[in-house]
Structure 1
């Protein structure tokens, strides 16, 4: 692989030529203010320079520890938060800094499923009012009236149309999440950002909701950005996975490659904690326990942000930030000393070549 070829490598997903969403250099810093005049004294670097793309019809999952910036990223993509810097292009249109009025028509195409089905539904409104709200807010005419459209949506997500006049407190957690999904689907969006859609549900019904989301994706040609911390669920639903640590993507790959050959030490540590039902395999696998706490996003470590907890860290890790580059086809890693790269030589520029070959420049 030549240096020029590496520099010309398209954003993940570009090989298909059909990206629905492209993110470049995305940042979100929350100012920390103190004193009588509320002067800015620091900033929480929740998201600090993300680059990725989402193809039409795929599921891209964002995973990582709590506080790594997953939910903030989801709210930036749906423009519930204003980016500090960077660029968000949705369906060929730059939506990074669109005003509320200009963003309103695009709300039909970009929707969000929230984590908590108990707080995301207004307890004073009936299911019919909640699910029918998008039609009224966007002034969308339905062929047979809003009530019939809402009942069709309820049936689509596995609820009875007779639930139209009931209130949220009359439903279980799984049923409430189905109501939230029905509301999300009302305007037939192109992109859905699902913020841990099953983490607040009983384990017994998580699989039902996950299977529902997969069926809806196949039937309605939906594109998902899934935010999750349960790596077992992620493996089941994802086409590609982006691993985040302290506001940055440290590894981005297709699902099989990531789970079978993780390259970033942080990803290796995360996957070592995933329960395996096969007791023989469990005994053969080494559990990696990271030392220390996650550093503060107000004052993150320099260069590689993971170097304070990494067992492979060397001096360069604290002085030079590793770029997110391809170490295998479609497998991007930001690490000076990646794991599972047997047969590959990684030079200081981050270019991987098979052993025995000399990289050209």
Structure 2
């Protein structure tokens, strides 16, 4: 079935209750003044490795190894990093789908770190998750009405007008036809299935929604529609998002603040503008250098791409000191022995690095190691010649996009 164009609740005239004031796109000062909804301190998750007939413990995979951050009401925190850095595990930890090894998780000031199933059940109304794969996250044996209506049954909630009427309203809110109530997941495209997952997550009017790579499994032409839908729903319902992704352009579009993870640690945490304009951690700089610029008018703004040599170290036995020192071109002896703390080097910008970019050196006088000089390869990006046509990049709907950074406040 072909994917319909995203329809917001405002476009269709759907009556959506204004539960909380929207926070996305608010100035940094306004966001900072909001109350803390989620606070994570020293969070760890180690998966034990069992070997032998007696299943003895032979080590552990340190998927998340001590992270700290806060999420304020109404804001969007984006979490980025390459595959295997612990992003998805972190998302499942803060929603308590996984039991933490250590650390503390506070939701609205209440410690939920080790709450059991019974203790977490009432909390599920305020904390929901959108899963990465829209094909495996929906039960193929259940109708859409049963899937979206499941939260009401599990929580013992009877909405006004009945479950069916509320489910049909939710389907309309996410841009689907309410008449699809009795259809099955296999009758929908990937983008439509992801909207069904979003409708299920919104059923109980949650305060916090954790979206685990909500568009990575979708076609590029559909990704923009789902991202815009999430943005519209936040404006309508005042939601708070933690969006996990590996696509830096998606994160830039939707996030107020961004956390960069590497090998189970947060290495940089800053607001969107600061991170993209002046990244401080070398790993963040390498990530941003790999972002393609589709608009020919703007390609001349970037002249080099950083290629990190070697593989990501194993989370079973991470390097000592700074975990990025094995691939960092600024690594010194202190990076091998001392782990840099996540510290605020300027207002609202935290970084864990002894030798940050765009900031004073925290350990001056150290000599860069010989291995660090060979850690990266700089590739020059070809600039367009003067006689090249400056045609605009086609947008997702097939039309030419003429937006500039000044025209689009999100950029």
Query: TM-score if structure 1 supplies the norm length?
Result: 0.90
Q: Secondary structure at the match of 1:122?
A: coil
Counterpart residue number, 1:159: 176
The residue number in structure 2 matching 1:62 is 79
- What's the secondary structure of 1:288's corresponding residue? strand
- Shift of residue 286, structure 1, vs aligned partner: 1.3
Aligned-residue offset at 1:17: 5.4
Deviation at 1:276, TM superposition (A): 1.0
Give 1:76's aligned residue.
Answer: 93
| Cα 1:251–1:192 shift into 2, 3 Å | same
Q: How does 1:304-343 map onto structure 2 within 5 Å?
A: 304-341=322-359
Asked if structure 1 preserves the Cα contact closer than 8 Å seen for 2:355 and 2:361, the reply is no
Residue equivalent to 1:301: 319
Q: How many residue pairs are counted as aligned between the two chains?
A: 334
Aligned to 1:89: 106
Counterparts of 2:31 and 2:187, CA distance in 1: 46
Question: How much does 1:98 deviate?
Answer: 0.2
Distance in 2 (alpha carbons) for counterparts of 1:289 and 1:192? 34
Tell me which residue corresponds to 1:25.
Answer: 42
- Report whether the alignment pairs 1:37 with 2:58: no
Q: Gapped runs of 5+ residues in structure 2?
A: 1-29, 365-411
Answer whether contact 1:44 1:297 (CA < 8 A) is retained. Answer: yes
Native 8 Å contact 1:273 1:287 kept in 2: yes
Q: How far apart, CA to CA, are the structure 1 residues paired with 2:182 and 2:31?
A: 46
Tell me whether 1:202 sits opposite 2:208 in the alignment. no
Q: Which position in structure 1 is the counterpart of 2:278? A: 261
Q: Which of the residues 340, 343, 346 maps onto 2:362?
A: 346
| Per-residue deviation, 1:308 | 0.2
Listed one character per residue, the Cα deviations across residues 188-232 of structure 1 (whole Å, up to 9, x for unaligned) are 000000000001011001111000000101111100000000000
Whether the aligned pair in 2 keeps the contact of 1:23 and 1:87 (CA below 8 Å) is yes
Indicate if the aligned counterparts of 2:34 and 2:73 stay in contact, CA closer than 8 A: no
Whether 1:248 and 2:265 are equivalent positions in the alignment is yes
Alignment match of 2:141 (pick from 109, 124, 135):
124
State how far apart, in whole Å, the 2-side matches of 1:33 and 1:71 are.
Answer: 22
Q: Give 1:340 deviation, angstroms.
A: 1.4
Change (3 A) 1:16 1:309: same
- Looking at structure 1, the residues matched to 128 and 298 of structure 2 have their Cα atoms a distance apart, in angstroms, of 40
Is the 1:272–1:285 contact (alpha carbons within 8 Å) kept by the matching residues of 2? no
Q: 2:193 aligns with which of 167, 173, 176?
A: 176
**CA apart distance, 1:297:** 0.1
Q: Distance in 1 between matches of 2:59 and 2:319?
A: 15
